[in-house]
Structure formats: structure tokens, C-alpha cells
């Protein structure tokens, strides 16, 4: 299962809650089926650079992936942070790697906009 | 202004800020708020607000108190709840409730109150669980979301207002006393400092961040080294 966070979610609690509730519902269903999971977020949102709502969703998903990974030892649940300039090819390649298993609760960041900045 | 002021950590924060001579707006749903307010009334001016901050009326009640006081320098978003369950058993109701209280309330409060602040600081009480914690998918997400909220508001409100987060680990409160002794002992054994933290230690960090004039957008863990140990 791949959940793509909406980077345009408004700074409004109802929209944020709906986005996170959808991620929860899809994660629970996928975990029940034993499927690997990847959350895709914007790297800029992990650092709070764009909207408040987008930052909340991105960092909440990262925490959710780490907690779910502690519980679901048979499934790989990871987070992929992309940039606006990330190519579809790079994104699909890394989604494929993460769905294939191995890393658990990991954050992979494409591009270099995070370098020299806060660790998640 | 301190939310969750009647709880273990919230009460310690309130006492610490009162000792510093700050005028306080203390907010909680619990009737125990009156006791905390009475304890502090001898040392500073205290305005207790018993309100449900998940409602618009509750947020408005706090805003009205701030407007009556005329100024606001510090917001401490401390109120939080847990409804623990493994992901497979976690209900939608408990997912929504924990996120609404732990994450929705700070968002609504900051949106409502920051226009009333000329300058100052916001301190959000997150949790070490934002790094991941078994059986706490909802709580972990809510506290992780607070990290993003902290960073985004730090950028948006600088240089007028500083925004930081604290991520406490196991802190000795009434909530942790409810953990079975055997389980608690195992948890403490995994902490390099070999003890739980105290609410007063968290309160001291809040006090520090309230005055730390060049720190913003940071998350400071106070967990006795538990973020490193096995």
C-alpha cells in the first residue's frame, strides 16, 4: 500500500484530521493483509517549510510509520520524502525498494534540500 | 497560559511559572483545576478556566480571558490523553479522540491566540513517543504531528514568537503510577539514568525555553537517555 500525503492540505483541523484518518484506515487494512506500506511525504514538510497542515501530516505519518513498524514485525512500513523536483522514475524506484522489504520504520529522503538542516 | 494545568506535569509547570511571578491562565477540563489554582493564588494572580478545548466555545473562553488580561507572553500546550491499543485493535473513535485532543487543540489554540501576542514563546509538550512507541499509533502520530506544527509555526511566527517542543520520556505522575509495578520496573531499567523523570524537571525546561531568546523550531527530548538505549 502506498499512501501519498496531500501537500496542499489546508491549515485547517478538519482537513488535517481527514487526511490522517484516511492514512490510519488504509494502514490498518493493509497491515491486516500483511502488505508492505510506504508513506510518501514532501521533505520540505518534514521541516515545516510550507503549510502548517502539510507539516503536521508529514511528521505525523513519519511517527506513525515508526510505531507501526514496532508492532508489525512481518511488514515493512517506511516513509519516502520527496522534493518538488523529484522525478517519477526516482520515486517509483524507491517505492519499489521500500515495498520489497528490508528497512523497517526508515525514512528515505530524495534530493538534498534537507542537508545541513534538522534531522527528523 | 497553560493547558492540562491540573495534571501532574501541567501542575508542576504552573507552579514553576508562578514562582517566576507570571500571571497565569490555567486551563483544564478536570474539576481538580480549582485545587491547583487555590495553591497558586497566594503567590500570583491566577485565572482558572475549566473548559473543553475540543470545542469552539472552550477556545473562545481562553481567548476571552487573554483579552481581559490584555497581554499574553507564553503559551504552553500541555494537555494530552492516551487511548493505547495495537494498530490491529485501534478503533476509529480512539484514533480521532487522541488526535483531536493532542494535536487539534494546540492547532486551534495557537491560531486563536498568536494574534494576541506581541512577542513571546509557545512551548508544545510532545512526547518521546514521536520517535515510535509500541501500542501507541494514535498517540505517536499526534505527538509527531506536534513536531511538524512546531517547526511550521516557528518559521511562520519568527521573529515575533518563538515556538519549541519538549518530548518527555517516562515521567513520574499519577498516570505512570497506574502502570503495574513489574512493568514500570522494566521500563525504568531500560532508562540509562535509572529513574523516571520528574514533572519539575519538565517544568524547568519549559521555563528555560520560555526565556531562551535565540532558540526556535527545536524539539528537546527529556528522557534520561532512553532515546538511545535498547
CA dihedral B109, B132, B154, A84 (to 10 degrees): -110
Q: Does the CB of A113 have a partner CB in chain B at under 8 Å?
A: no
ipTM for this model: 0.97
Contact status, residue B45 vs residue B24, Cβ threshold 8 Å? yes
The pTM (predicted TM-score) of the whole model is: 0.97
> Cβ contacts of residue A90 below 8 Å, gap of 6+?
A110
Cα separation, B14 vs B40, in Å, equals 8
Give me the residue from A49, A56, A64 closest to B149, CB to CB. A56
Nearest chain A residue to B131, by CA: A63
pLDDT, tens digit (0-9, with 9 covering 90-100), for B66-120:
999 999 999 999 999 999 999 999 999 999 999 999 999 999 999 999 999 999 9
Cα separation, A109 vs A107, in Å, equals 6
pLDDT of A116:
94
> Cβ contacts of residue B52 below 8 Å, gap of 6+?
B29, B58
Count of CB atoms situated within 10 Å of the CB of A119: 7
Cα separation, B129 vs B139, in Å, equals 7
> Cβ contacts of residue B225 below 8 Å, gap of 6+?
B191, B192, B193
pLDDT, tens digit (0-9, with 9 covering 90-100), for B140-190:
999 999 999 999 999 999 999 999 999 999 999 988 888 899 999 999 999
Quick one: which of B186, B166, B173 has its CA closest to B229? B186
Q: Does the CB of A93 have a partner CB in chain B at under 8 Å?
A: no
User: For residue A74, what pLDDT band results from cuts at 50, 70 and 90?
Assistant: confident
Quick one: which of B64, B53, B50 has its CA closest to B109? B53
Contacts of A72 in chain B (CB under 8 A): 87
**Triad B183, B200, B59: Cα angle to 5°:** 95
For an interface test with A, give the residue of B137, B157, B220 to mutate (most A CBs within 10 A).
B137
Q: What's the gap in Å between the CA of B160 and the closest CA on chain A?
A: 17
User: For residue B44, what pLDDT band results from cuts at 50, 70 and 90?
Assistant: confident
Amino acid at each position: 500500500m502506498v499512501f501519498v500525503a496531500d501537500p496542499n492540505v489546508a491549515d485547517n483541523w478538519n482537513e488535517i484530521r481527514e487526511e490522517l484518518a484516511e492514512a490510519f484506515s488504509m494502514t490498518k487494512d493493509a497491515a491486516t493483509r500483511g502488505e508492505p506500506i510506504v508513506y510518501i511525504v514532501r521533505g520540505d514538510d518534514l521541516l515545516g517549510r510550507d503549510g502548517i497542515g502539510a507539516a503536521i501530516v508529514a511528521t505525523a505519518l513519519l511517527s506513525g510509520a515508526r510505531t507501526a513498524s514496532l508492532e508489525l514485525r512481518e511488514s515493512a512500513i517506511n516513509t519516502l520524502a520527496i522534493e518538488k523536483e523529484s522525478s517519477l522514475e526516482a520515486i517509483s524506484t524507491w517505492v519499489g525498494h521500500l515495498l520489497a522489504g528490508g528497512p523497517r520504520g526508515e525514512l528515505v529522503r530524495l534530493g538534498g534540500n534537507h542537508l545541513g538542516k534538522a534531522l527528523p | 497560559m497553560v493547558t492540562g494545568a491540573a495534571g501532574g506535569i501541567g501542575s508542576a509547570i504552573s507552579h514553576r511559572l508562578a514562582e517566576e511571578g507570571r500571571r497565569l491562565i490555567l486551563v483544564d477540563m478536570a474539576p481538580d483545576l480549582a485545587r491547583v489554582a487555590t495553591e497558586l493564588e497566594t503567590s500570583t494572580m491566577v485565572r482558572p478556566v475549566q473548559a473543553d478545548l475540543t470545542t469552539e466555545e472552550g477556545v473562545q473562553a481562553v481567548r476571552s480571558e487573554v483579552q481581559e488580561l490584555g497581554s499574553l507572553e507564553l503559551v504552553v500546550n500541555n494537555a494530552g490523553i492516551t487511548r493505547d491499543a495495537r494498530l490491529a485493535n485501534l478503533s476509529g473513535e480512539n484514533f480521532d479522540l487522541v488526535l483531536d485532543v493532542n494535536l487539534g487543540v494546540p492547532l486551534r489554540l495557537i491560531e486563536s491566540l498568536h494574534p494576541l501576542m506581541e512577542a513571546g514563546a509557545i512551548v508544545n509538550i510532545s512526547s518521546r513517543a514521536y520517535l515510535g512507541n509500541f501500542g501507541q499509533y494514535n498517540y505517536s502520530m499526534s505527538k509527531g504531528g506536534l513536531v511538524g506544527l512546531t517547526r511550521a509555526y516557528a518559521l511562520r511566527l519568527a521573529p515575533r514568537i518563538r515556538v519549541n517542543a519538549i518530548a518527555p520520556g517516562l515521567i513520574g505522575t499519577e498516570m505512570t503510577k497506574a502502570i503495574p509495578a513489574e512493568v514500570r520496573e522494566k521500563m525504568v531499567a531500560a532508562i540509562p539514568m535509572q529513574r523516571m523523570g520528574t514533572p519539575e524537571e519538565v517544568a524547568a525546561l519549559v521555563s528555560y525555553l520560555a526565556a531562551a531568546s535565540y532558540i526556535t523550531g527545536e524539539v528537546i527530548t527529556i528522557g534520561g537517555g532512553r532515546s538511545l538505549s535498547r
